[in-house]
Every structure is written in structure tokens, then in C-alpha cells.
């Protein structure tokens, strides 16, 4: 058996194109969807992500603002910027690139972003709404995983989904979204004994452990759908995920590649959230004229 590769690049392109008519409609109504991205410090990976997000905004005809702050920026200054962006009607989405310098408390920053502009889906109000099934802005990577599965023609309802990882950014929310799609969900993590005995039960295995090539074929049920959320750079400069792709491809039925899998989905779901937030602002009469 050789796995079918599920391309996030292809699906992300489809979603991008589907956003264009709504962006045009909103812009004609006087509301150009606007995203503000804030980067504190000069982390190279973060620089790349921020540039990709800004480029995608411009390609879609959205308004984009990027704030690059020095690493020594005080927390109060960052919170002041967020407050200004919260009150700026031209901005419908605010994203503060993580990780932040150690002297800035991440929770304070996340809590400061107004839930209606929290396009990362990290604010406690949005997390709570996700947990109880209410309408909210969904976290981008987990939402991207679900979108990939659906557009890839993969049935979720009634399947046993196993999530490896319990982070607030991916593990927990993707488990909640899988539950919303009527999967039976098991969450595993670093203290789970005999991890492979549980992952081998999965019809759908979502790996967000943050450990390079942790999962090999011995962890995977034949024919399973394997979604690799991780991305790491090897010493030789090549990229890999949390899954040992070449090995797992011999056992899995469907597998997402790294790169070109979940990564492109994260960015396009950010754009989708921003467009959705702009639409809500227009409907509520609170949208500014971009």
C-alpha cells in the first residue's frame, strides 16, 4: 500500500479563489477586509510567516498592515498598539506573531485582542464558544485540518480520530472540531503510555506533537488518514514533519506532505477569518471605509 498525498497547497488555492468574490463584494460596499500583523523581535521563521501573510493579503486585494517592533519592546507598548488596532475600523483582524520575547506575557497579549478581531481564534471568548459549539472565529491550523479532510472527500463522522498533542494552538481545538464533525476523539500526549497502541486504533490520526519524525509506520493503522501538523528543519536544511513520511506512506491510506500540507491551509484560513470578520463588521454597521 502506498498512501495518497493530500495537498494543502492545492486546497488552499481553491479556498483563496473562493474568497475573491466576497472580498470584492465587501470592497464595493466600502469595506476592504483589513489584517494587521504584529511581529516583535527578529525570529527568522516568524519573519517568513509574516511576509507570507502580508503577501497573500495583497494578492487577494485585502488591506494589510505589518508592525515590526524591536525585541526589547515593553509589554505595555505592545498592548497600547493592540488597543489602537482594536479601535481602528479599517482593521478587521489582528494577529500577533508567536512566539513573543520572554519578558512579554503571551496570555496578556492574547486577552487584549478584541474577540471580533481575533483571527487566530486564541481569545478565551472564542475558545469558549468553540468548546460549546457556538459561532466564533476558529483557530486557523485546526480549521485548516478539518477543511482539508472535508475537501479531500474524507468521512469524519463516526470515525475514530486520535490527536497526538494537547497544545492550546492545535491539539485541543482540533479535537473539539473533530468532535463537532461527529468523530470519536482520543487525545494523546507526552505522558501517554504505549502511544503506538492508541494511535494504531485511529481511522484519522492528527499529529501535532512538535517532535521531528516521531511517528513511523508502527504507529499507524493500515489505510488510516494521517495529518502531519509539524514542521521542522533538519541539519541539512531540508524540512520534515512530526511524521516519518516515507515510512508511513507505506502503511497509511492518505497522508499530508511537509511542506505543502497543513502550512498553506493555516495562512488561507487566516484570510478566510479576516474576510468573515469584515463581513460581520459590515453587517453590524461597525466597519470602517478602507
Is-catalytic flag, 97? yes
25 is in an annotated binding site: no
230 is in an annotated binding site: no
Among the listed residues 32, 117, 120, 244, the single catalytic one is 120
87 is in an annotated binding site: no
The span from the CA of 261 to the CA of 280, in Å, is: 29
Among the listed residues 97, 117, 118, 242, the single catalytic one is 97
Under 8 Å between Cβ of 20 and 280? no
Q: Among residues 143, 211, 208, 204, which one has the least CA distance to residue 176?
A: 143
Is-catalytic flag, 55? no
φ, ψ of residue 256 to 5 degrees: the values are -90, 140
The span from the CA of 255 to the CA of 241, in Å, is: 11
Q: Which helix (H) or strand (E) holds 254?
A: strand 254-255
Among the listed residues 32, 53, 118, 172, the single catalytic one is 53
Is-catalytic flag, 53? yes
15 is in an annotated binding site: no
The span from the CA of 170 to the CA of 261, in Å, is: 15
Query: Grid coordinates standing for 69?
Result: 517592533
Residues designated as active site = 53, 97, 120
- Binding residue numbers: 165-167, 231
Q: Which residues sit in the known binding site for NADP(+)?
A: 165-167, 231
Amino acid at each position: 500500500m502506498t498512501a495518497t498525498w493530500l495537498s494543502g497547497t492545492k486546497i488552499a488555492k481553491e479556498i483563496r479563489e473562493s474568497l475573491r468574490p466576497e472580498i470584492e463584494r465587501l470592497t464595493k460596499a466600502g469595506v476592504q477586509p483589513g489584517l494587521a500583523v504584529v511581529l516583535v523581535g527578529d525570529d527568522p521563521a516568524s519573519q517568513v510567516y509574516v511576509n507570507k501573510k502580508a503577501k497573500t493579503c495583497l494578492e487577494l486585494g485585502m488591506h494589510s498592515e505589518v508592525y515590526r517592533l524591536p525585541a526589547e519592546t515593553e509589554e505595555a507598548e505592545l498592548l497600547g498598539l493592540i488597543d489602537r488596532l482594536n479601535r481602528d475600523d479599517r482593521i478587521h483582524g489582528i494577529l500577533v506573531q508567536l512566539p513573543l520575547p520572554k519578558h512579554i506575557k503571551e496570555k496578556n497579549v492574547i486577552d487584549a485582542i478584541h474577540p471580533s478581531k481575533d483571527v487566530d481564534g486564541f481569545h478565551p471568548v472564542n475558545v469558549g464558544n468553540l468548546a460549546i459549539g457556538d459561532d466564533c472565529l476558529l483557530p486557523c491550523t485546526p480549521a485548516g485540518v478539518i477543511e482539508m479532510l472535508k475537501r479531500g472527500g474524507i468521512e469524519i463522522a463516526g470515525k475514530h480520530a486520535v490527536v497526538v498533542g494537547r497544545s492550546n494552538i492545535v491539539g485541543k481545538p482540533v479535537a473539539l472540531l473533530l468532535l463537532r464533525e461527529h468523530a470519536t476523539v482520543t487525545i494523546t500526549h507526552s505522558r501517554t503510555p504505549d502511544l503506538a497502541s492508541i494511535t494504531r486504533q485511529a481511522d484519522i490520526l492528527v499529529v501535532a506533537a512538535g517532535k521531528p519524525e516521531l511517528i513511523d509506520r508502527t504507529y499507524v493503522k493500515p489505510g488510516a488518514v494521517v495529518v502531519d501538523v509539524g514542521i521542522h528543519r533538519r541539519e541539512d536544511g531540508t524540512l520534515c514533519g512530526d511524521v516519518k513520511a516515507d515510512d508511513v506512506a507505506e502503511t497509511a491510506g492518505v497522508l499530508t506532505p511537509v511542506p505543502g500540507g497543513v502550512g498553506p491551509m493555516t495562512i488561507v484560513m487566516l484570510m478566510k477569518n479576516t474576510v468573515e470578520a469584515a463581513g460581520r463588521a459590515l453587517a453590524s454597521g461597525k466597519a470602517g471605509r478602507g
